Every structure is written in structure tokens, then in C-alpha cells.
Amino acid sequence: MLDYMTIGSSPVEESCAQVGSDDYSKKSRIECRVFKHQLKRLFPDGTFGIKTFPHDFGSYSEVVAYFDADNAESGLSPGAKEEMDAAYAAEANTPMRWDEQAIEELKQGGIVLS
């Protein structure tokens, strides 16, 4: 069964778009896309996506790591164990800061870091 764990919308020590702000939807899409790319660079065996969740102030988005625990444990699907291990590694070792490539991607998306 395909499962996921939430990783976040940006690196741990970085500010991010706030739910309910006027530009949240646009900024959040950019930040999540860039964060997903950064996670893929750090955890190449992982499968990352972006999910939207309901919130009292509107929906919010986060990067998630997908994995299939059943296939990982059974060994029936090649790469499933590596994918699950990468999901857990990404959750346990979430980056603290944007890397240089992410900063460039954010700038290209119109987000300037302070």
C-alpha cells in the first residue's frame, strides 16, 4: 500500500509562506517545488511529491515522501526498500537551510530571501 510522510514546506530554519497571507498559494507552490528538488538531490532514492491539506485558515501544502512499506518489507518490488529508507532519512535529516541551487530556483520563481 502506498503511504507517505510529511517532510515540510521548506528547510527547518528557513521562513516560508504563511497560510492565509495574500500571496500564500503562489509562494507556497514555488517553495514546495524547490524544496522537493532539494530533497531529491539529498535523497536520490526517495520519491517526493506535494500534497495539500485542509486548515482552519485555508489549505496548506507540504512536501511528502512516498513509499510502499508492504513492498519494501516483502522484497517483491525492486527499489521499494531504498525508497522507504530514503523517506525515513529525509524525515529524520530534513535540511536546515536552502542549498545554493535552491536559492537560485527561488530567485527564478520571484522569491527573494532576506
DSSP SS3 for 110 = coil
Q: Which of 98, 100, 68, 97 is nearest to 85 (CA)?
A: 68
Give pLDDT, residue 76: 63
Q: What is the pLDDT of residue 72?
A: 66
CA distance 59 to 84: 27
- What's the pLDDT score for residue 21? 87
Output the pLDDT for position 36: 98
Looking at residue 75, its pLDDT comes to 64
Ordered mean pLDDT values, 10 residues apiece, the chain (114 residues): 93 93 92 98 97 86 92 71 94 98 97 84
Picking from 31, 30, 55, 49, the residue whose alpha carbon sits closest to that of residue 90 is 49
